[in-house]
Amino acid sequence: MSQSVVELLEIERGIIQVTMQDRVHKNTFTLEMTHGLREAFHTIQNDSTCKVVILTGYDNYFATGGTQEGLLAIHEGTSKFTDENIYSLALNCKVPVIAAMQGHAVGGGFVMGLFSDFVILSKESMYTTNFMRYGFTPGMGATFIIPQKLGFSLGEELLLNGGNYRGAELEKRGVPFPVLPRKEVRSYGLDLARQLAEKPRFSLITLKDHLVAPLRDKLPKIVEQELIMHEKTFHQAEVKERIINLFGK
């Protein structure tokens, strides 16, 4: 399967790579991107030979979150982040998913990557949960997965502050992921995928089901709470001004 912005390719037996490559929109979550990701993971779910997935981006971009139009639609009340559920694609995938975040990961793009079973960051890239920079509370399961994967103190800082953090800085702060030079991220991910692909597929699926069951069980309630917070925070006039004036800066 190959689409204009999402490419799905079996790079070795049992190893499928999903590459986000929307160079025009720098891997923001356009409708084409979200539909492409959902179709890619639907194909993987129905592939009886796949043992592991590598999710990655292009050049120095991994995924950069919602579009300005999408955020304004949520502000106006005509859309919700749950309308296009891509944040839990990796979590709900049968087989292990490796997020090879070789490039910048912004907002929902960073959150989506953290729902993977393995996370690899690059020293040079920027990682941020910048929801509060625009004045609205986080969504896409961020309030759950960020503290879960990064630890409560650092996770709370990222969520409340909404600042930008280089991978090298997060490494110093003790994130529990490999943080490598950008040029080494994908090769590290492939080596890891090869190790996983040596195992029986059924055993990989069975163990992942067991390990992520608590996350899958808790996520719907968290998302429900995030939507309630959005009703309280997203529709402020100041939020619209911030989305218009600060987007992409």
Residue 49 belongs to a domain = yes
State how far the Cα of 172 lies from the Cα of 41, in Å rounded to an integer.
33
227: in domain: no
Q: Is residue 210 in some structural domain? A: no
The tally of domains found in the chain comes to 1
244 within a domain of the structure (yes/no): no
Cβ within 8 Å of residue 124, ≥6 positions away = 60, 166, 167, 168, 181, 182
Least confident of 76-90, 128-142, 164-178: 76-90
Tokens 């592939």 belong to 47
Residue 111: CATH number of its domain: 3.90.226.10
Tell me whether residue 12 is in a domain: yes
Summarised one tens digit per residue, pLDDT across range 26-58 is 999 999 999 999 999 999 999 999 999 999 999
% of the chain beyond a pLDDT of 70: 99
> Would you call 106 helix, strand, or coil by DSSP?
strand
pLDDT greater than 50 at residue 114: yes
User: pTM higher than 0.85 for the full model?
Assistant: yes
Residue 2 has pLDDT above 90, yes or no: no
pLDDT band at 152 (very low <50, low <70, confident <90, very high): very high
pLDDT of residue 1: 44
User: Going by DSSP bridges, is the β-strand pair 126-128/165-166 parallel, antiparallel, or unpaired?
Assistant: antiparallel
Six-digit token string for 239: 């939020």
Distance CA 101, CA 39 (A): 20
In single-letter form, the type of residue at position 241 comes to E
**84 pLDDT tier (thresholds 50, 70, 90):** confident
Query: What pairs with residue 6 in β-bridges?
Result: 20
In a domain, 242, yes or no: no
Closest listed residue to residue 111, CA positions, set 60, 119, 57: 119
Res 4: pLDDT: 85
Above 80 in pLDDT, residue 224?
yes
- The reply to whether 224 falls in a domain is no
Evaluate whether residue 171 is within a structural domain: yes
Q: In which domain, by residue range, is 137 found?
A: 6-183
**CA 138 – CA 160 distance, rounded (Å):** 9
With a CB cutoff of 8 Å and minimum separation 6, the contacts of 89 are 37, 38, 41, 112, 115
Contacts (Cβ under 8 Å, ≥6 apart) of 54? 11, 15, 16, 17, 18, 97, 98, 100, 186, 189, 190, 193
Task: Check residue 249 and give its pLDDT.
Answer: 75
Beta pairing partners, 15: 12, 52
pLDDT tens track for 202-219: 999 999 999 999 999 999
Which residues are part of the catalytic machinery? 230
Instruction: Classify burial at 151, counting beta carbons within 10 Å of its beta carbon; exposed 0-12, middle 13-18, buried 19 or more.
Output: middle
Burial 106-141 (b: 16+ CB within 10 A, else e): bbbbbbbbbbbbbbbbbbbbbbbbbbbbbbbbbbbb
The SS3 call for residue 54 is strand
